[in-house]
Structure 1
């Protein structure tokens, strides 16, 4: 099975008002035993003409704004309308194909809260659905780490890492790091 672990950093929690500012994705093939460090990765900082946000999100992602103001050259930056076609090209260059004579690539996505959070932002991204379609089958690692008797809500990424026994349970809020953590959490179950 192939899936794509995706994580976003945004300027807030409302996909109709706030923006994606960082996109990270890791490609996983469960039929191959590829070292985590060798998995194909895609990361972009997403530039907008103006930003609308919530104070906690802007503070949490201050490093992204530093990269936009004073680029170090380490991060790849793109405009919002460029993200979907660039990601599609990445997928095509890594073995994915367009869906039955259509122009888009269909993927199975994984991510912590992907269906409830990230997908709404992606569907509002210019050109996203022209280039990428997400299968209704979405993988969320929280299901493996949920304590049905004690939890009142789904465990956070940090809590999933604790329950999985990871030494480092830090959530970096770097889109690529967090997408890789999802792969690490899911790998314990296949």
Structure 2
């Protein structure tokens, strides 16, 4: 199964009033090779969002204000990257996305900013939280908690492509230590 781990960094929590600052994506064959990466820093004349989110993304804001910095890609480039990936799929339903809270956070931002991009994704997604829950958890674990429970580096950098790669690592690590093996055919007659 091929999937794309996607992470966004935004200016806040509301997709109607806040903006996407950065998109990171890592394409992966489950249990196999990485198939490619995509990274965007989007530029705006004005930013709208929350002080908390803007403070958390200071690295991005510094990159945006560097003299001569212009974005290398935009939403159309991400759309084309996804379409090329989708052309190699056997799955007729669309791209399987992976992400920490992709359906509840990232996808609504993508739908608001670029509906044509959102339509590339299958409605079912991979979220590593369910793979790392423990009995007694009151809510699904954060990405940092999932990383800690997996024994992986538990620092979430808030760099979109790094965070997307961490989600991929969580999924791959889970399936490498808990391999899903097809049962052998029965020889009963």
TM over 0.5: yes
Q: Which TM-score bucket, shorter chain as reference?
A: 0.7 to 0.9
Unmatched tracts of structure 1, length 5 or more: 100-104
Aligned residues: 172
Looking at structure 1, the residues matched to 7 and 117 of structure 2 have their Cα atoms a distance apart, in angstroms, of: 20
For the pair shown, the structure with the greater C-alpha radius of gyration is 2
Q: Which residue of 1 aligns with 2:140?
A: 154
Which residue, 98, 116, 123 being the options, matches 1:129?
116
Looking at structure 2, the residues matched to 71 and 150 of structure 1 have their Cα atoms a distance apart, in angstroms, of: 50
Q: Which residue of 2 aligns with 1:169?
A: 154
Instruction: Give the CA deviation at 1:124.
Output: 0.2
What is the TM-score with the length of structure 1 in the denominator?
A: 0.82
Q: Which residue of 1 aligns with 2:126?
A: 139
Q: Which residue of 2 aligns with 1:89?
A: 80
Report SS of the residue matched to 1:171.
coil
Looking at structure 2, the residues matched to 71 and 77 of structure 1 have their Cα atoms a distance apart, in angstroms, of: 15
Unmatched tracts of structure 2, length 5 or more: 176-189
Looking at structure 1, the residues matched to 35 and 144 of structure 2 have their Cα atoms a distance apart, in angstroms, of: 22
Please state if 1:69 is matched with 2:65.
Answer: yes
What is the TM-score with the length of structure 2 in the denominator?
A: 0.82
